[in-house]
Amino acid sequence: MQVKVKPVAQIVEEQVRSWQFSRAEPKQAEKDLPVLTISREPGSGGRIIGEKLAKRLGFDLFHQEVLHEMARSAKVSSQLLETLDEKGLSILDDWIASLVDTRHLWPDQYLKHLMKVIGTLGRHGRAILIGRGANFILPAERRLSVRVIAPLEMRAAKVADAFSLSADEARRRVVKTDSQRKAFIRKYFYADIADPLNYDVTVNTGSMSLDGAVDVVCSTLEVCRMRCEIGEGGKGKVAATA
Confidence of residue 177 (pLDDT cuts 50, 70, 90): very high
Number of domains in the chain: 1
CB of 49 within 8 A of CB of 38?
yes
The answer to the question of residue 67 being in a domain is yes
Range scoring the smallest mean pLDDT among 33-37, 52-56, 201-205, 210-214: 33-37
Cα 185–191–194 angle (5° rounding)? 80
Considering the domain boundaries, does residue 87 fall inside one? yes
Tell me the average pLDDT of the chain. 85
Phi, psi of 175 (to 5 degrees): -65, -40
CATH code for the domain of 111 = 3.40.50.300
pLDDT, greater one: 41 or 94: 41
203 forms bridges with which residues in the sheet? Answer: 148
Which tops the pLDDT comparison, 33 or 65? 65
Contacts 24+ apart (CB under 8 A), 8-16: 8/66, 8/69, 8/70, 8/73, 8/76, 9/76, 11/66, 12/70, 12/76, 12/79, 12/80, 15/60, 16/79, 16/80, 16/83
Give pLDDT, residue 22.
Answer: 62
pTM over 0.85: no
- Residues 130 and 107: their CA atoms lie apart, in Å, by 21
Domain that holds residue 73: 8-17+28-241
Residue 94 lies in a domain: yes
Instruction: Name the least confident of 27-36, 174-183, 218-227.
Output: 27-36
| SS3 call for 90 | helix
Q: Answer yes or no: is 159 within a domain.
A: yes
Q: Is the predicted pLDDT of residue 1 greater than 60, yes or no?
A: no
Q: Which of 115, 59, 60, 126 is CA-nearest to residue 92?
A: 115
In a domain, 56, yes or no: yes
- Kindly state whether residue 23 falls inside one of the protein's structural domains: no
Are residues 52 and 38 in contact, defined by beta-carbon separation less than 8 angstroms?
no
The pLDDT of residue 233 is above 50: no
Length of the chain: 242
Would 1 be classed as within a structural domain? no
Cβ neighbours for 207, distance < 8 A, ≥ 6 positions apart: 242
- Helix, strand, or coil here: 26? coil
- In-domain check, residue 222: yes
